Structure 1
């Protein structure tokens, strides 16, 4: 290769290098311009997005504030809904008495399962005492009867025989009296012998004994001496209720058939099973409170009996509490819980039983508020001596409706009805 060719090749390489550099510089310049423009666009978009986010945040803030205000309004409305308006004049007219919640002495209690049963001392299984056919049974099942009231009439052959015997005995007695009087007069006048007089006197004594025996047989059955009739009247032995009736017209009954069960339901027994471990606490005379899930109220009584023997299967002793039952609310067969007082007394927060009411399946006490009352939910404990323990929901010293609180509940129900309408 000569010198000219070398120079030509070098020139071509220089031109090519210069052209490549120009292309590189041009592309870079274009990229910078496009990049700056892209940066400006991105900044603009970011700025616009920022403004948009600020606007959204501002709107959300307004919405949140509106929501908070709405929530406050609802809360206030809810509070207002719970408040029962009552003026001082209304409370005075209604006789509503306010009191401050305070402490009361209550003894410890031992809860035991139990069942309401008839008072066995005031329950009778009435039997005819004579066999016969039923002529009448005027009383109905569940009817309240008075002592001596007619329950049924039975036609009995045995009663007919006894009455005939009594009637004959009376007739023989009358004849014996006449014979004795005659023989006595003749003996006094020395007309007849003394032996005749003594025989007449002995006959009189025998007639008197026979008549007395016949009358006693009728009296023992409660039949009386109504001629030769066989009608036997069954009468109530005391005031009570006919709780069972096993007799019908025309039926033949035996002398030992329990035709009626009569019970005085003015008081009943709450029978409990006392485990051996609790016998030291459950004693005769101990105060007890009886509660039933079927009833909203409770009753107080005293333990009247504690059995001395333990059951072979249950290993418990029987005991019962005597309960007054004037309204018949405690029905035999009802399951109950008997809380027997046990242990030393202690002070607890308590209110009168009449101050606690049930609203929407919750126990409440109507506490005093400005312009009326609020139905304050509370958790109750045991009841004793007309007072109910408050476990939570009420503070000592807090004022509440202690008397005639049911009128506040009535006003609450009226307001709820109007609101629903």
Structure 2
């Protein structure tokens, strides 16, 4: 009986174990199917990524930056046409802007006197003939009185001479009386010419002298100091009520429509500097450079400075070239013609190559170039550009930056 019970139990264990193995096999097959599905999906996903990467590769191969006219202006990008130019070898000389001494006047009163009016101040602009100040001068009064007295004596001498002439013809007057009258007239004429010369020396015109006898009631002491030409008052040494002498500089007036640039030429540079040489005057502080030529080269070298003077005359209509400013002048000592010349601002390094961004109807594209000789501003292009091409002469760095980060490329217009 016990043996029969054990036999039944053993048979049940075998049956249960068999069912478990069957279930495990079914779940295993199902698991393999799920894994295969994931495997297929994984391969499919990888294929999709490959396609996407392929799209990115195709996207990056174009390397074109497209910008609207408004964006070009906003980013400060300027274009130019490839062409020939000149490389310049230049030397830099120190210098200073000074007043054009040929257009400067020291105003000195021609008579001493007391200042009654001061009409112009430091920095005022004046016109030729404009009154700067008024003096009251006793010496001027004496000179005018002398002239008027001589003028009256001349009228009397003329009348006496004419009367003696008539009497002589009638044999009423002697020959001696006639000669005395003639001599008196000649002496008065000499006196009046002397008085006229004095007044001319004081700045009075012939027209003024002719009108003076008719205006004898005018104050003889009034002396007007006038501007000799258009200019600016750059110095003033006169105050109301002071006594000024006839050798005192009371105003300095300068016409600043042109200025001088004085350059110091070192001994080592003298062989390369000559009159007519081109000069770029570098003012700095944001001011634009000014072009000129050397108009004068000093014949001697200063004992203390050991430099010679070179001078450039520059127009100064806007008044921005202020005397006293220190500047530097770049003197061109040699010019070399090259077939293709561009500014250095057009060069950039992209992907390890020196490039220039050329422009066509599609946009800006980096073009590898080979550079040759250069100066401080421009560079010769040996290969990579041809005359007539349009390129970015300014703002190339911005184009490089946009291309590096993918902005504004392949139709990504903003």
Normalised by the length of structure 2, the TM-score is: 0.64
- Partner of 1:108 in structure 2? 89
**Distance in structure 2 (CA, Å) of the matches to 1:348 and 1:119:** 41
- Partner of 1:341 in structure 2? 332
Any conservation in 2 of the 1:291–1:297 contact (CA below 8 Å)? yes
Aligned match for 1:186, one of 167, 182, 207: 167
Return the offset for 1:132: 1.0
**Distance in structure 2 (CA, Å) of the matches to 1:265 and 1:83:** 48
Return the offset for 1:174: 1.0
- Partner of 2:107 in structure 1? 126
- Partner of 1:169 in structure 2? 150
Q: Which stretch of the first structure deviates more once superposed, 146-155 or 262-271?
A: 146-155
Any conservation in 2 of the 1:223–1:233 contact (CA below 8 Å)? no
Return the offset for 1:314: 0.8
How many pairs are equivalent? 308
Any conservation in 2 of the 1:118–1:265 contact (CA below 8 Å)? yes
Q: Which stretch of the first structure deviates more once superposed, 216-225 or 204-213?
A: 216-225
Q: Deviations over 1:278-329 (max 9, x none)?
A: 2222222222221111243111222121111211111111221111111111
**Distance in structure 2 (CA, Å) of the matches to 1:283 and 1:184:** 73
Give the direction of change, closer, same or farther, for the CA distance of 1:83–1:332 in structure 2 (3 Å limit).
Answer: farther
Normalised by the length of structure 1, the TM-score is: 0.63
- Partner of 2:287 in structure 1? 296
**Distance in structure 2 (CA, Å) of the matches to 1:253 and 1:373:** 73
Tell me the C-alpha RMSD between the 2 structures. 4.0
Of the two structures, which has the highest relative contact order with CA contacts closer than 8 Å and spacing of 6 or more?
Answer: 2
1:149-228 matches, within 5 Å, as: 149-223=130-204, 225=209, 226=212, 227=216
1:322 paired with 2:313, answer yes
Aligned match for 1:238, one of 224, 229, 233: 229
Any conservation in 1 of the 2:88–2:375 contact (CA below 8 Å)? no
Give the direction of change, closer, same or farther, for the CA distance of 1:334–1:184 in structure 2 (3 Å limit).
Answer: same
**Distance in structure 2 (CA, Å) of the matches to 1:190 and 1:246:** 67
Return the offset for 1:138: 1.2
Return the offset for 1:346: 3.8
SS at 1:187's partner residue? helix
SS at 2:271's partner residue? coil
Q: Which runs of 5+ in 2 are unaligned?
A: 1-48, 347-355, 366-373, 399-414
Give the direction of change, closer, same or farther, for the CA distance of 1:134–1:106 in structure 2 (3 Å limit).
Answer: farther
Any conservation in 1 of the 2:342–2:380 contact (CA below 8 Å)? no
